């Protein structure tokens, strides 16, 4: 949810922005891989931002959070 609130403040995103809900993987410093999945275990391709929010698409949210910046999200969560 915080990721979407942050995007709302950005000029780069609005509720009609297309975002990607395909497989997403992040290589971690400890040589592990983090790969979030959606609850339904499906990828949904290009979706509107509001659809990703309404359907809690984890892959789209993780990708969006990484694009916006994890440090910014962490700062918001601390406040």
pTM, two decimals, is 0.79
Give the pLDDT means over successive 10-residue stretches in the chain (79 positions). Answer: 67 89 93 95 96 95 84 67
pLDDT for 9 equals 66
Tokens 């929010």 label which residue?
53
pLDDT at position 70, please? 67
Q: What are phi and psi of 24, to 5 degrees?
A: -130, 130
Q: Looking at residue 5, what is its pLDDT?
A: 66
In this prediction, residue 79 carries a pLDDT of 66
Please count the other Cβ atoms lying within 10 Å of the Cβ belonging to residue 62.
Answer: 19
Cβ atoms 26, 33 nearer than 8 A: yes
Q: How far apart are CA 52 and CA 25, in angstroms?
A: 18
Residue 68: what pLDDT? 79
């Amino acid at each position: 949810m915080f990721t979407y609130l942050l995007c709302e403040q950005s000029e780069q995103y609005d509720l009609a922005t297309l975002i990607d809900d395909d497989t997403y993987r992040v290589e971690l410093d400890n040589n592990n891989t983090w790969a979030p999945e959606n609850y339904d275990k499906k990828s949904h391709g290009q979706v509107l931002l509001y659809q990703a929010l309404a359907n809690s698409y984890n892959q789209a949210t993780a990708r969006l959070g990484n694009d916006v910046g994890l440090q910014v999200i962490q700062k918001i969560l601390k406040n």
